Amino acid sequence: MRIVLLGAPGSGKGTQAKLLVEKYKIPQISTGDLLRAAVSAGTELGRRAKAAMDAGQLVSDDIVLGMIQDRLSQPDAKNGFILDGFPRSNPQAQALDSMLARLGQPLQLALLVDVDPSELMKRLTGRRTCEKCGQMYNVYFSPPKVSGVCDKCGGKLMQRSDDNEETIGKRLKVYEEQTAPLISYYRMQNKLRRVAGVGSMQDIAREISHVIEQHIHPLSALKPAITAATPSGAKPRLVAQNKAAAAPQAGTGSAGGARVTLAAHAGESAKKAAPKKKVAAKKKATAKKAAPKKAAAKAVTKKKAAVKKKMVGKKKAAPKAATKKKVAAKKKTVATKKKVAVKKKTVATKKKVAVKKKVATKKAVRKSARGRR
Ligand code: AP5
Ligand code: MG
């Protein structure tokens, strides 16, 4: 499964991506997470990206595209991926299409998580992330039990440096100008699906899974798509906010968890998939080994069947030939008999004619003798 999650800052891309990772066992690839990891690691790439991030602007394509290329070529992305926060502009979308075309793995779905802009400011200013385990909270919608402390691991909760009103305003503007045009880009490719990103996180996740299964699963492709209910041009469906239901679920890591979170997910998926893969590989190997034997056995059976058929044919044909011969012989005998009979008849007739002629001659001789007398 190869999908892109599209949506404004704070729409819940990261939250939903983590739920999808758990369900479909494929990695989340978030450029925001990768960049933040580089910044906190103090790498050259991180230093170059930091200024743009703090200003709410897009980091340059040469940094982001290189990073994505590296990430997509890692083994855990072979079975699919969930792109979160990438692509963010037309050139990035085109570059992604080319990259995936080279890999022979085209994108299958672009899922827009649609949230009214009025919701976003509160979501972003209220976001808190555990610096240890990456668990995400929101002081308005899903607060921790103890303020500033992670429920899961007791770690300290941090606020992202770009989650202040001024930078959020810039990020939203950049989204409208550079990222929102991707809605048309993917609609033109018939890959766009829209899901209302308001309501409980679990309900949204269920709706997203439904769209994925309808759009990507070949057997369910005939069913009407979710876009029929929320057409791409229409206003998104608004669902009442539910604080309790919006509480974060266990395992929904954080955007700040960056590489650690990604690596953990990738490792987890790989571990879970390993025994299944082994069994599948064994089955394949056994099938491969058995294949020539099977083919040979099939050939022998076929030959035997052919010989049997021939024999049965001969057996059946033998009496037929004998009968034919007998009939022919009988016919010959009858014909010969007929010929002999005809010959006999002819001879008899000839004899009769000769006798008659003789008698007639005698009678004539006698008559002429009587006349002379
Ligand atoms: P990035 O990290 O991608 O940030 P973003 O796009 O601004 O999105 P966010 O991560 O802020 O929001 P989200 O949609 O993930 O929402 P979340 O699930 O966290 O990018 C950061 C920066 O990096 C960019 O500004 C740019 O500089 C740079 N960058 C990244 N990618 C780039 C690229 N491709 N090219 C160039 N530069 C790039 O949720 C937000 C909050 O809402 C949380 O508190 C959460 O708990 C809460 N929440 C989620 N769902 C719900 C719900 N249903 N109800 C109530 N609350 C909810
Ligand atoms: Mg995010």
Q: State residue 363's pLDDT score.
A: 73
pLDDT the model gives residue 213: 93
For the cut 60, the answer to whether the pLDDT of residue 180 exceeds it is yes
Neighbours of 244 (CB within 10 A): 8
Q: Which atom of ligand 1 is nearest to the CA of 57?
A: 27
171 catalytic? Reply is: yes
Rounded to the nearest angstrom, the distance between the alpha carbon of 25 and the centre of ligand 2 is 19
Active site residue 123: no
Q: Compare 199 and 215 and report the one with higher pLDDT.
A: 199
309: amino acid identity, one letter: K
b/e map of 179-212 (b: 16 or more CB within 10 Å)? beebbebbbeeebbbbbbbbbbbeebbebbeebb
357 labelled catalytic:
no
Distances from the Cα of 359 to the Cα of 352, 365, 371, angstroms: 11, 10, 19
Cβ atoms 234, 241 nearer than 8 A: no
Question: How sure is the predictor about 308, in pLDDT bands with cuts at 50, 70 and 90?
Answer: low
Reported as a pLDDT band with limits 50, 70 and 90, residue 287 is low
Rounded to an integer, the average pLDDT of 166-175 is 98
In angstroms, the CA 254 to CA 18 distance is 8
Task: Using a cut of 0.85, tell me whether the model's pTM lies above it.
Answer: no
Each residue's pLDDT tens digit, 27-36:
999 999 999 9
The residue ranking higher by pLDDT, 320 or 148, is 148
Domain coordinates in residue numbering, the chain: 2-116+170-219
Quote the mean pLDDT of the chain: 77
Between residues 249 and 79, the one the model is more confident about:
79
The pLDDT of residue 310 is 53
Residue 265 in this model has a pLDDT that exceeds 50: no
Is the C-beta atom of 5 inside 6 A of ligand 1? no
- For residue range 91-125, what is the model confidence (pLDDT) as tens digits? 999 999 999 999 999 999 999 999 999 999 999 99
Give the orientation angle of helix 31-41 with respect to helix 44-54, to 10 degrees: 120
In the set 13, 18, 36, 71, the catalytic residue is 13
Dihedrals phi, psi of 196, to nearest 5 degrees: -70, 125
Atom of ligand 1 nearest to the CA of 32: 2
**What CA–CA distance (Å, rounded) separates 16 from 26?**
13
Q: Please name every residue paired with 156 in a beta bridge, in sequence order, or none if there are none.
A: 149
Does the structure show a pLDDT above 60 at 372? no
pLDDT at position 254 is: 31
Annotated catalytic residue: which of 2, 71, 128, 160? 160
Does residue 267 carry a pLDDT above 50?
no
Regarding the beta carbon of 230 and ligand 1, being less than 6 Å apart is answered: no
307 pLDDT more than 70: no
Strand-pairing partners, residue 29, are 83
* Average pLDDT, integer, range 218-231: 39
Best CA proximity match to 216, nearest among 191, 236, 184:
191
Q: Mean pLDDT, to the nearest integer, of 133-155?
A: 95
Nearest CA to ligand 1 atom 52: 201
CB 196 within 8 A of CB 237: yes
Distance 104 CA to ligand 2 centre (A): 28
Q: What are phi and psi of 118, to 5 degrees?
A: -65, -25
Look at residue 370 in the predicted model and tell me its pLDDT: 64
The residue contributing the CA closest to ligand 1 atom 27 is 53
Average pLDDT over residues 281-301: 54
- Given a cut of 60, whether residue 202 has pLDDT beyond it is yes
Contact 37, 265 (CB under 8 A): no
pLDDT of residue 249: 31
Percent of the chain past pLDDT 70, that is, above it, reads: 63
The one catalytic residue among 127, 128, 193, 194: 127
Helices 61-72, 31-41: inter-axial angle, 10-degree rounding: 100
Q: Which CATH architecture has domain 2-116+170-219?
A: 3-Layer(aba) Sandwich (3.40)
